[in-house]
């Protein structure tokens, strides 16, 4: 793994800050919109008094943002190397004319009298928007020369197609995608002599470490398409990881023809999987967690103190219980709970699931587990950032179903770790709580968890939170 360490060591403070920021594309779009708003208002204010024509400014800003969005100027093309001058000019013209039309209907005015300042506003605004685009492209070039891209990628497979793609991306130097290396299962002696100037980072068994250490966003699969079984194995593994997975085209393309296409630097690729909660979603979900958990913790402080007192009076031992569980991207996190078992019989790895009338559970603990009040300290995990209010429930390392570990019982189990675990989830409000003594129970839970990840929205989170309390009261499967 020397390639991983050396590549990671090249990262400067700016690169570490950049790649540590989730939702980079959404932030750049927001900055672009803000700057364009400043241009529209600033140029107009130069020709018109702001206090007199503020309605025109507000209307034009709204129309510019709406028309530019409809024209695709905030989409994938924003990060390309294309000038986009024609589309930008046409969108500005349409927004400007629509603004004049609406203002004419609301407050009729003479276009002949206002022609000169309006023309100055139009052409000055257009010139500044075009200059902004040139400045954006210059910024992209400056960033790419320093190895900073919108996304980091590796190519899986040092094949003819993989090296052809590598050369193409390196020549185009598209800001959207920066290659950091090649992944191939062959030994160094069997690899091609020239890997398009890219380092060999290891084999497929190293992908999880590569994604975590190098903060990868995309994996290009460039294996020979005749090796269909190998491609299936690799895609199954990668679909459980928080990365975009793109299949490099080859002659045998019909099997994946139903997959949507993604375009990178002019090359069309098959999108096998995409990151969960991409774009603005991580930011919205984090704000949701901070807001709701921040409001809930003061309200629940007194009940939590009473629970702590009851635990202390009921049995000797600590009030809180800490347990290692699987979190985002299969990382182990420390989850907090109120202690519900006798301290001398604690089971930190959950090697034995709690059953009905379990002798290890205390009197107070039985009621806490029945109503899931033992989970309340996990609000601290939510505020700390390693858990969310809503998401797949985290499981301990040794938890089993029918004698098998969860990851052995269900192939798609790790796919639920593409998002942060939650205090409550879609499976729990649908009655899937408590003991998982059969394969069917864990399979159904994972089915609901994966459906939640694919269909996530803020409304779904709020709906699950709304249903959580009734599901706890009427549940008969938690003990």
Give the model's pLDDT for residue 91.
93
Query: What DSSP string describes 444-474?
Result: HHHHHHHHHHHT--HHHHHHHHHHHHHHHHH
The pair phi, psi for residue 265, each rounded to 5°, is: 55, 40
- Tokens of residue 219, six digits: 């994996």
Q: Give the residue from 104, 130, 145 where a domain finishes.
A: 145
Structure tokens at 411: 């192939």
Own/partner contacts of 85-93, CB < 8 Å, gap of 24 or more, are 85/130, 85/133, 88/129, 88/130, 88/133, 89/126, 89/130, 91/64, 91/67, 92/64, 92/122, 92/125, 92/126, 92/129, 93/122
DSSP state of 3: H
Does residue 5 belong to any structural domain of this protein?
no
Token pair 């507000």 in the structure block, residue: 58
Question: Is the Cα dihedral 249, 254, 255, 260 positive or negative?
Answer: positive
* Calpha distance 366→305 (Å, rounded): 18
> Based on the domain organization, do 208 and 287 belong to the same domain?
no
Q: Tell me which residue range forms the domain holding 409.
A: 281-474
Same domain, 242 and 289: no
Helices 85-106 and 54-70 sit at what angle, rounded to 10 degrees?
140
Within-domain flag for 340: yes
Residue 97 within a domain: yes
Per-residue DSSP letter, 301: H
Length of the chain: 479
400 and 351 in a common domain = yes
Distance between CA atoms of residues 196 and 170, nearest Å: 8
The pLDDT profile of the chain, 479 residues, written as one tens digit per residue, is: 555 555 555 667 777 777 767 678 888 999 999 999 888 888 877 776 655 567 777 888 888 989 998 888 888 888 888 888 999 999 999 998 988 888 777 777 666 667 788 888 899 999 999 999 999 999 999 988 888 898 899 999 998 888 888 888 888 788 888 999 999 988 888 888 788 889 999 998 888 889 888 889 999 999 988 888 999 999 988 988 889 999 887 755 655 656 677 777 777 777 777 777 877 888 899 999 999 999 999 999 999 999 999 998 888 889 998 888 888 888 888 999 998 888 777 767 666 767 777 778 888 888 888 888 889 999 999 999 899 999 998 887 767 666 677 776 677 778 888 889 999 998 888 888 766 767 777 888 888 888 888 888 888 999 999 988 888 777 666 65
pTM: predicted TM-score of the whole model, two decimal places: 0.66
Asked whether residue 1 is assigned to any structural domain, the reply reads no
Q: Are residues 292 and 268 in the same domain?
A: no
Distance, in Å, from the CA atom of 359 to the CA atom of 374, rounded to the nearest integer, reads 17
CA distances from 400 to 349, 405, 436 (A): 11, 4, 8
Is 15 part of a structural domain of the chain? Answer: no
User: Cα torsion at 369, 371, 375, 380 (round to 10°)?
Assistant: -150
Q: Are 78 and 122 in contact (CB under 8 A)?
A: no
| 326 shares a domain with 466 | yes
Q: Residue 437: what pLDDT?
A: 67
Beta strand pairing call for 218-221 and 244-247: parallel
**Cα–Cα distance between 373 and 152 in angstroms, integer?**
42
Looking at residue 239, its pLDDT comes to: 87
The domain that holds 205 is classified in CATH as 3.40.50.720
Rounded CA-CA distance 263/271 in Å is 9
C-alpha span between 289 and 328 (Å, rounded): 15
**Residue where one domain finishes, among candidates 273, 306, 322:** 273
Q: Are 116 and 129 in the same domain?
A: yes
The structural domain count of the chain equals 3
CB atoms within 10 A of CB 185: 16
- Do 421 and 452 have their domain in common? yes
The C-alpha atoms of residue 99 and residue 106 are separated, in whole angstroms, by 11
For residue 437, give the DSSP letter.
-
Same structural domain for residues 365 and 312?
A: yes
Residues 252 and 338 in one domain: no
Gyration radius from the chain CA atoms: 28
Among 145, 163, 189, identify where a domain stops: 145
Provide, for the chain, the percentages of residues in helix, strand and coil under a 3-state DSSP scheme, each rounded to the nearest 5: 55, 15, 30
Distance CA 243, CA 401 (A): 28
Q: Is residue 10 part of a domain?
A: no
Residue 402 in any domain: the answer is: yes
Domain co-membership, 328 together with 223: no
Are 341 and 409 within one domain? yes
Please check whether residue 9 lies inside any domain of the structure.
Answer: no
Please indicate, yes or no, whether residues 60 and 209 belong to a single structural domain of this protein. Answer: no
């Amino acid at each position: 793994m020397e390639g991983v360490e050396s590549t990671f060591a090249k990262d400067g403070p700016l690169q570490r800050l950049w790649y540590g920021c989730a939702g980079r594309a959404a932030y750049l779009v927001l900055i672009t919109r803000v700057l364009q708003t400043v241009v529209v208002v600033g140029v107009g204010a130069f020709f018109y008094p702001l206090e007199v024509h503020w309605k025109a400014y507000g209307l034009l800003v709204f129309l510019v943002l709406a028309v530019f969005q409809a024209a695709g100027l905030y989409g994938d093309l924003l990060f390309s190397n294309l000038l986009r001058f024609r589309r930008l000019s046409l969108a500005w013209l349409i927004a400007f004319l629509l603004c004049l039309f609406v203002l004419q209907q609301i407050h009729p005015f003479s276009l002949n009298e206002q022609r000169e300042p309006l023309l100055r506003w139009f052409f000055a605004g257009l010139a500044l928007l075009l200059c902004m685009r040139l400045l954006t492209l210059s910024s992209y070039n400056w960033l790419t020369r320093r190895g900073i891209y919108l996304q980091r990628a590796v190519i899986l497979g040092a094949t003819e197609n993989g090296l052809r793609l590598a050369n193409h991306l390196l020549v185009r130097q598209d800001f959207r995608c920066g290659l950091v290396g090649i992944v191939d299962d062959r030994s160094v002696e069997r690899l091609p002599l020239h890997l398009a100037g890219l380092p060999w980072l290891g084999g497929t068994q190293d992908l999880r470490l590569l994604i975590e250490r190098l903060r990868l966003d995309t994996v290009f699969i460039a294996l020979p398409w005749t090796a269909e079984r190998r491609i299936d194995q690799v895609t199954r593994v990668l679909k459980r990881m928080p990365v975009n997975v793109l299949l490099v085209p080859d002659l045998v393309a019909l099997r994946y023809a139903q997959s949507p296409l993604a375009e990178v630097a002019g090359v069309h690729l098959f999108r096998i999987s995409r990151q969960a909660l991409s774009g603005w979603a991580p930011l919205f979900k984090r704000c949701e967690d901070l807001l709701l958990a921040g409001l809930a913790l003061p309200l629940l402080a007194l009940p939590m103190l009473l629970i702590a007192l009851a635990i202390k009076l009921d049995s000797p031992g600590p009030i809180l219980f800490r347990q290692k569980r699987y979190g985002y991207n299969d990382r182990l996190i420390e989850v907090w709970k109120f202690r519900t078992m006798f301290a001398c019989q604690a089971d930190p790895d959950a090697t034995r699931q709690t059953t009905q009338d379990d002798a290890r559970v205390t009197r107070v603990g039985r009621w806490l587990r029945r109503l899931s009040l033992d989970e309340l300290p996990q609000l601290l995990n939510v505020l700390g950032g390693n858990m969310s209010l809503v998401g797949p429930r985290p499981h301990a390392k040794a938890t089993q179903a029918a004698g098998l570990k969860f990851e052995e019982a269900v192939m798609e189990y790790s796919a639920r770790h593409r998002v942060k675990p939650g205090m409550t989830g879609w499976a729990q409000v649908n009655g899937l709580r408590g003991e998982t003594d059969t394969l069917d129970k864990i399979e159904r839970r994972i089915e609901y968890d994966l459906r939640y990840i694919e269909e996530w929205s803020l409304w779904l989170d709020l709906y699950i939170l709304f249903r959580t309390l009734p599901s706890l009261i009427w549940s008969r499967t938690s003990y």
